[in-house]
Amino acid sequence: MYKRFQELMVKIADVNYATAVLMWDQETYMPKDGEHYRSQQISTLSGIAHDLFTSKELIELVATLQEDASLNEDQKLNVVETARVLNKKKKLTTAFVMEMSTTVSETFMAWQKAKQNNAVEDYLIHLEKLVLLKREEASLIGYKTHPYDALIDEYELGMTVLELDKLFEDVKVGMKKLLDKINAQPQVKDDCMRQSFDAKKQWTLGIELLKRMGYNFDAGRQDISSHPFTTSFSAQDVRVTTRIAEDDIANMIWSCIHEGGHALYEQGLPASNYGMPAGEAISLGVHESQSRLWENNVGRQLPFWKANYSYLQETFPDQLGHLSLSDFYKAMNKVEPSFIRTESDEITYHFHIMIRYEIEKKLIDGSLEVKDVKKIWDQMYKEYMNIEITDDRKGILQDVHWSHGSFGYFPTYSLGSFYAAQYFEKACKDLPELETEISKGNNQPLLDWLRINIHVHGKKYTAAELCKMVTGQDLDLSFFMNYAEKKYGEIYGF
């Protein structure tokens, strides 16, 4: 009976990953005229996957297997987790799933055009329809306190608005105090990052950085997209994209390292559990912990660049050949309010997240309508970071997430940063020579530690359980704040 359950789950995974390939192509290579039928194709496959998952046969198999005492630990996990997800999916009709899929595809393509043309109006028309569907989805799934809880649960199981509100209030206070200390000191210079950097050379540099992190190109590839992302079709096919700006090398470097962190997690999941919960990532918060750990706790630190800066200088001798590693390190860690979330520093980054969280929470509970989003976005950037939005591509159009229907996703970026600081401190305690090895260009000890402690478990634990198991403590903001105080105190001299 379990074998039949596994056969069905693998079949569903095949359909879902086939859909994911079409969506990857939609964001990378699809010709413009393919838009209409691509939306239809994705919608059809989404409907098929939903029908298979909510079929009478699978429902009955799951119900029976939950009473089967002969199942091993992984098998029990697969059944219990499938039952949990199935309980939600049964509440959505196939027609609703297909409508959502079509609307997401159309909204995504509207977002691409709007960003290209800096014209937000048509995008907002599509986004309004999508928000109405997300409100309906929250209502259909059900929630105890706030409709947003139903959506964030998809990305961070068990997390609630009540918990997030408290966390972000603490974040706001802590980050503001740290930012005030930084602002009281002379600002560091980062002009070196904004010179003319040839796109082809940047591309080669990004590939090399991914290799040095341990990314397996025999099980993946990198491409260009409007918004960098990682997608997986199995542990043997995990793809990343990057974005290159010839006048800003930081854009490419940290998008490659960030997405590389996501990809290393996916490549480290147990391939033997393809299509099953035991072979899937725990949560988006844990997923973001992997990308933020590599991007910030490794990629924005001196040890990593002691090993890699000479290669960067060799690639761009005219731009960086004269610049000391110390000055490059300070430049990459300049703290200053900015427009673009993905290009922001480690401190102001969380103000970007808080703005998005507050907006999408209100969109879902109906206290904010889509027609007012741009106005509120611009007001909050003025209030939180004292910057004026004069270009929507640097404002409401910069992120792809809402066009994907990913409401509830943004908080996981901050959660990921906080998990990352806690995990990395534990890794350094377990591996006293870790930073020395990284400075020699040997990232394998860290990757091995992450494989053993994080990647291999699939969904065996919740994010909270994993954090306590690995670090001995619940998620604690103080790990990040202590890390940030020490790092930026040294850079800015306070």
Mean of per-residue pLDDT scores for the chain: 96
At 227 the pLDDT is: 87
Select from 203, 179, 471, 478 the least CA-distant residue to 346. Answer: 179
Predicted local distance difference test score (pLDDT) of residue 78: 97
pLDDT at 489: 97
* Domain 161-492 in CATH 1.10.1370.30: yes
pLDDT at residue 226, rounded to an integer: 86
Domain boundaries, the chain: 2-142, 161-492
* pLDDT value of residue 419: 98
Q: How much of the chain exceeds pLDDT 70, in percent?
A: 100
259: annotated active-site residue: yes
Low-confidence stretches of the chain (pLDDT beneath 50): none
Question: Residue 438 has what pLDDT?
Answer: 98
Instruction: Give the per-residue pLDDT at 90.
Output: 94
Query: What pLDDT is attached to residue 267?
Result: 98
pLDDT at residue 147, rounded to an integer? 98
Active-site option among 137, 259, 288, 343: 259
Q: What is the pLDDT of residue 36?
A: 87
At residue 253, the pLDDT reads 97
pLDDT in tens, 68-118: 999 999 999 999 999 999 999 999 999 999 999 999 999 999 999 999 999
